[in-house]
Structure 1
Amino acid sequence: MSQTSDAMELREEDIKKHNSVAGALLEGFDHAPRIGTPLAADAPAEKSSGVGTRRRFRSTTPGLVTQRNVASAGVQLIGRIARADDGDMLVSPVQATVMHALRRAVAIALAVAENYADQSGLGDLKRANLEGSLPAARKTEFSELLAGEALVTLYVFGNAVAYLLSSHLTEVTVEVGDVDEVLTDNGQVALHGALWELDQDIASHASDDARLVGTVCAFAEMLMEKVALRAQTAPRLESFKGAAWRVEADDFTVRGFSPASKAKSTTLTMTFKKPNEVVGNHIAKYQAMKLSKMLMAYDFDRRLNPFADLGGFIFTFMGDGAPGTGKTTLIQMMAGLVNEYCLNAGYPFRYQNLSTDNIDSYQGKSGQNAKAFINNIIDPSVIGFGTIDDIDQLAGKRGDRQSSAGQLEITAVLMESFAGANTVVRGNCTFGMFSNYPENVDDALRQRAGARFLVDGPQTRDDYIDILNLLMGKNHDIPLGDHQPFAAQEIKKAVAASFESHSKPHEEGLMKVFDQVSKDIGSLDTIAKLGTYLKGIQEADERFTGRAIKNITDAVKVRAMDFELPDEWMEQPDLFLFKGYDEKLAMIKDMRKPITVEMVIQEINRYADSEFRYADKSDEIAIENAVRDMQRMEAAKKRFLSGGAG
């Protein structure tokens, strides 16, 4: 399912014609480093202890090429790799795999760079330059295109290396540090610099096979990161960013400056829950069940979900409720449903939870952990479900002196990833943030949750009987009594009642706004009147911004999709899942419901109720803390005066 219809085929013959050049680069070439600092002259002949000895030098001007009095050194990667063991005269299978992966990655990079040169016009300028007929007016363009070729070559090389060796990684991790020798003269010089630095890293860190693979992959990741950052401001890269190339033999797709990854599922060890085992939480359960099926509508060829196209897809949601109300059970239910559907359809499914273990005392590491979590889930070649449990403990609140640097790093990454300038919602994944204390979550981060799942647990007498009956199990003879098991959990009836209850606000502060606006302008039955109500809410709570309006309208669009895809569509993939994108889109359009005034009012109240609830709790906590501080100061003052009098 990883084949993409929008990717051009990178033909095998176009790659293999670069094998001789790639092989020659691995055998040996001379390179005088410009930015990186080389090892001591005798270092290549020494056995590395696995501890880095190379002092890092970082230019203060990005992209600056400086001439340094450093003699050219021979770079012989094949020999370097062969020595990365206990002195065995034979090359190990892992070493051979690394050599083949590096040659393949160089060949792919050169083939893509050749395509880039043809599409961007660089090829014509190169020929004109060789003939001495390059116009002076185009020299700047020529220089910029050569720099673009260098960045393309380096990124594709790093991307291919990381992809080809990903299945050979072990639990051994290697920190190689920053990549310095990033040269942008042209593609060939760029490869010389990268391979020189890789040779240095292997000498410093690769003391055995596991560390060899770890070193090469870590270098590839750091190279990609450095090049992608440089490419953000580099000109003349549009033809590369907007295109995709498919290498069929490796199941590898080059898609701009985005890392490729193998479409592997994660092995889930959690205990799954069935929907009837979730008692209460009717709206949250219903939305989770709908979202699970929405994910399955994702089209791997188009790399887009019809629900995302129509505006009814939930990319991020916030699940909040008191401790013990069923947030973990809800996660187990949704992950179990998606896992079951993916197994039936043969789709790769990836689940991951971002936990407090990802907070690191090392500066920048927490942000890297969060970014890796995001990238793992948004991978367009899988169906992804990411959860952030206890987000109030994990992501720091800006301005809160108790938030650590690591927590604030995670907050910044999540905010940028969930609603940043580069956020692309394809509809293949969703993120759930869960908290017992959502009022402690940063306001801007909380508002990036497009939907709110109130996890309020069992509420009615029937709910409590059902949950007791469920948890008691079968090993007893106690009669059930006058009760119809799980009748109260009939989802459609319960959800209809839950939505209807939001025709009027629940929170006292919002009730006052609703009543006042209704008194002033009458029934909220036009866009103008609904907008007046929204303005009234904003006047009562300044945190109710334009993002809140977007979240409400998104929720209304979800309500227009207020239907569940039939179970048989999940059980028999040919009925829906395996159909073409346009056919799936048409089938979903036929099931859409018209948007009504009642829907809009209910969604405004549902969202605003949650914000008022969070704000009230947050303000109350702040007041309590301030009062506690004043009481302490008063007690300290009395004690001080008492001591002074004595």
Structure 2
Amino acid sequence: MEHNTTFPIKQSELDVLRDEASSYLKSVQWEQSARAKNRDKDGKDESILLYLSRANNGSNVEITSVSKTILALKKRLLPDSVAIPMYLNQTLYAVQEGLTLGIWIKDSYYDSSGLTSLNQNKSALDANGKREYESKMHTATAYMLFATAYKILNDLKPLASDDLSVMKQKFAGIPEVSLLSPIKGISCALFYFDKYLGHPEIVKTDKDVIDFSVVYFEALIDEIQLRKSTLEYTETIEDRTYKLENSEFAVSGWNNMFQGTAKSVEFNKIQFEQIVGNRDAKHFARRLTERMLSYDFEAKKNPFQELGGFMPVFMGYGIPGTGKSMLIAAIATRLKEHCDTLDIPFLFHPMPDTLISTFQGGSAEKMVEWMKPMQDPTKLIFAPIDDAENNLQERTAQGVSAGVKEVIGVFLRYTEGAYAVNYGNSSIGLFTNLPEMLDKAVISRVQGRFKIDGARTEHDFLDQDHLWWRKLDDTMPDFVNMQGPENYSYLQNQGLAKNMGEILNQVEKPSEARVHAIYDEVEKNFSTNQHLFFANLYKAMQDAFPFFSSRDVRNIQSAISLRLTDFDLEEDWFSNPEIYFKKDYDTKFNMLQELMRANMKGLDFSEIRRQEVVRYLDNVATIADTDFKRKVDARVNQLNIETAARKTFEGL
């Protein structure tokens, strides 16, 4: 659903609700359910769950006070300090502000959903009216708790420790969540929050209070997300965004920006020189990193985007075993190293393997959660999808799961369309052995493509072996007693190419037979420096490959634009960031334009256009023909086996 309207949350309106929020912190009363009390039987940490379940000293209803517990913590942890110490104070304040915002959101839902008038005429409602009233109360409570927890996370997450795994292990979950009414919802959530805070094992230092709060309110959001599908009357939640006045904070439906955004995934450090062959791929990867690093955080845009040299979606394809995973790691390594030097936040954000869910709608939800961080303009984001054919395979193929279709739907929506925001700071890379199995609409989103073809020359194979045996040579110097090549020093050909022209100068004619035939036919009537040559070539391609469309022509145009920006950034820009990287957007843009003009002087536009068109059309044909070829090869192989078997049999 589109988030079409944004409503402001005014500070003056929050001021009115703050007393109500702080009264909940002073005292709430909650009666534990029998189920929650008995949870210690199969709990993961018996002592904590036992403690939670016996929290009520024999009476059924207990009154707890978060503010008193925080004061008690202060006495226990920092007996000598007079004021409430900073972390405790910040937690108390964040929870109060979260509650205030949650109450505001609840009031807003009451008005927009018609719950206010149902509430006023409660005594006169018939059975249907009562059912609607209860249903809307549940939804109001869930959304209030969601917004409360979301605001608390927004305020406390930046202050929390990077690694919360120890705290998460201590945490035994929230025994129950009440959605019966807003008061019960808040009372239940604060009751268990308070009980955990009072447990001596949970809080050992004042910093633990913030860390625990983040773990607790993340768990509360997860609990509500689990119940979301059972809620009704959610239209007035999902069609709008509430934005807090004078702040970046916004609540937009049930979207949780903190999921998946917190931390960069770990990866093995690999340098480009350790990858053998793959000249095209390494060159592309270097250009990608230079372009991403040019992103301007102030202006929230990238000068390369304006010059036509940026690729929000690209694809690397090749046969198995040619170094896709190494290449992903090498791109991440290069970006991370430069980001560290330039003091830029970097997010390595690979697509998780567990994306496809068996629940209806579950895959779409997970995919939205994965795509969401790509809209964060405050960091550089590299988002590889390894073995892309698993999650993005052709939707019309037999047996494709509903989950795959959901994932593709979200991917298409976020890469082009109403949701597609690209500031020029994030790039999604599809890596696959089987490009022909990818969905056609997904492939058409790809603006840059390159082959990952591994070792290709005598020197490549020499170097691949050398990377292996040199480890033996280091440990036992005379053990590898073999003769080396005469006029080649190891790895000298594994460096990076100067530009794409160096790699493509051997591209004369298409390598795919069908494209070659079409190309030759068109060349009989037009020369390659005539615009009509390309118009007729595209038309003939479309006749042969019906799915070839204007989108493909646009992709060719963007590939040519990439070539026009195919120049090295100056060496000293990296060693001294003040010269370029730290400059304002307009200065960077002008400096790049100068480089581009200098670079274009030596280029022949019609030749570049021809090379890129040949490269792209070959790719289209390869993808179209591979599936057919695979079936033919399998059949030929089968026939060969049968023929050989017959001969063997006759010879017996």
TM above 0.5, yes or no, is yes
Match of 1:514 in 2: 519
Could you tell me how far apart the structure 1 residues matched to 2:386 and 2:452 are? 13
Relative to structure 1, is the Cα distance of residues 587 and 272 closer, same or farther in structure 2, using a 3 angstrom cutoff? same
Relative to structure 1, is the Cα distance of residues 162 and 469 closer, same or farther in structure 2, using a 3 angstrom cutoff? same
TM-score normalised by structure 2 residue count: 0.68
Superposition deviation, residue 416 in structure 1 = 2.7
Cα-to-partner distance string for 1:359-410 (whole Å, 9 max, x where unaligned):
4444444443333332344432221111111112333431333433444433
- Write the mapping of 1:103-182 to structure 2, written as runs, cut at 5 A: 103-107=96-100, 157-166=148-157, 167=160, 170=165, 171=168
Match of 1:581 in 2: 585
Could you tell me how far apart the structure 2 residues matched to 1:244 and 1:531 are? 53
Match of 1:266 in 2: 264
Aligned-partner residue type, residue 216 of structure 1: F
Aligned length: 540
Could you tell me how far apart the structure 2 residues matched to 1:197 and 1:397 are? 47
Range that drifts further, 165-174 or 495-504: 165-174
Superposition deviation, residue 12 in structure 1 = 10
Range that drifts further, 225-234 or 378-387: 225-234
Match of 2:340 in 1: 343
Could you tell me how far apart the structure 1 residues matched to 2:306 and 2:106 are? 33
Aligned to 1:401, the other structure's residue is in SS state coil
Range that drifts further, 212-221 or 606-615: 212-221
Relative to structure 1, is the Cα distance of residues 560 and 244 closer, same or farther in structure 2, using a 3 angstrom cutoff? farther
Range that drifts further, 422-431 or 193-202: 193-202
Could you tell me how far apart the structure 1 residues matched to 2:399 and 2:195 are? 39
Relative to structure 1, is the Cα distance of residues 244 and 20 closer, same or farther in structure 2, using a 3 angstrom cutoff? closer
Match of 1:555 in 2: 559
Match of 1:317 in 2: 314
Relative to structure 1, is the Cα distance of residues 338 and 12 closer, same or farther in structure 2, using a 3 angstrom cutoff? farther
- Cα RMSD over matched residues? 5.1
Match of 1:20 in 2: 19
Aligned-partner residue type, residue 459 of structure 2: D
Aligned-partner residue type, residue 504 of structure 1: K
Superposition deviation, residue 340 in structure 1 = 0.4
Could you tell me how far apart the structure 2 residues matched to 1:605 and 1:544 are? 14
Relative to structure 1, is the Cα distance of residues 81 and 221 closer, same or farther in structure 2, using a 3 angstrom cutoff? farther
Which of the residues 500, 503, 510 maps onto 2:505?
A: 500
Which of the residues 424, 427, 430 maps onto 2:427?
A: 430
- Write the mapping of 1:320-331 to structure 2, written as runs, cut at 5 A: 320-331=317-328
Match of 2:537 in 1: 533
**Contact kept in structure 2, 1:569 and 1:576, CA below 8 Å:** yes
- Write the mapping of 1:243-262 to structure 2, written as runs, cut at 5 A: 245-246=246-247, 253-254=249-250, 261=258
Could you tell me how far apart the structure 1 residues matched to 2:547 and 2:250 are? 42
Aligned-partner residue type, residue 533 of structure 1: L
- Write the mapping of 1:182-581 to structure 2, written as runs, cut at 5 A: 195=186, 214=215, 216-220=217-221, 230=235, 234=239, 245-246=246-247, 253-254=249-250, 261=258, 266=264, 268-273=266-271, 275-473=272-470, 474-475=473-474, 476=480, 478-489=483-494, 491-492=496-497, 495-520=500-525, 522-581=526-585
Cα-to-partner distance string for 1:33-65 (whole Å, 9 max, x where unaligned):
xxxxxx99967995766999xxxxxxxxxxxxx
Aligned to 1:414, the other structure's residue is in SS state helix
Superposition deviation, residue 295 in structure 1 = 0.9
Superposition deviation, residue 529 in structure 1 = 3.4
Superposition deviation, residue 422 in structure 1 = 0.9
Asked if 1:606 corresponds to 2:615, the answer is: yes
Structure 1: segments with no counterpart, 5+ residues: 1-8, 31-38, 53-73, 84-88, 117-121, 123-148, 183-188, 247-251, 630-646
Relative to structure 1, is the Cα distance of residues 412 and 565 closer, same or farther in structure 2, using a 3 angstrom cutoff? same
Relative to structure 1, is the Cα distance of residues 79 and 112 closer, same or farther in structure 2, using a 3 angstrom cutoff? closer
Superposition deviation, residue 563 in structure 1 = 1.0
Could you tell me how far apart the structure 2 residues matched to 1:412 and 1:339 are? 31
Percent pairwise identity: 23
Could you tell me how far apart the structure 1 residues matched to 2:147 and 2:571 are? 42
Could you tell me how far apart the structure 2 residues matched to 1:621 and 1:407 are? 23
Could you tell me how far apart the structure 1 residues matched to 2:577 and 2:235 are? 43
Could you tell me how far apart the structure 2 residues matched to 1:218 and 1:276 are? 44
Range that drifts further, 155-164 or 278-287: 155-164
Range that drifts further, 590-599 or 338-347: 590-599
Match of 2:46 in 1: none
Match of 1:65 in 2: none
Aligned to 1:385, the other structure's residue is in SS state strand
Range that drifts further, 347-356 or 255-264: 255-264
Could you tell me how far apart the structure 2 residues matched to 1:423 and 1:267 are? 24
Structure 2: segments with no counterpart, 5+ residues: 1-7, 44-60, 79-84, 113-139, 203-210, 475-479, 639-652
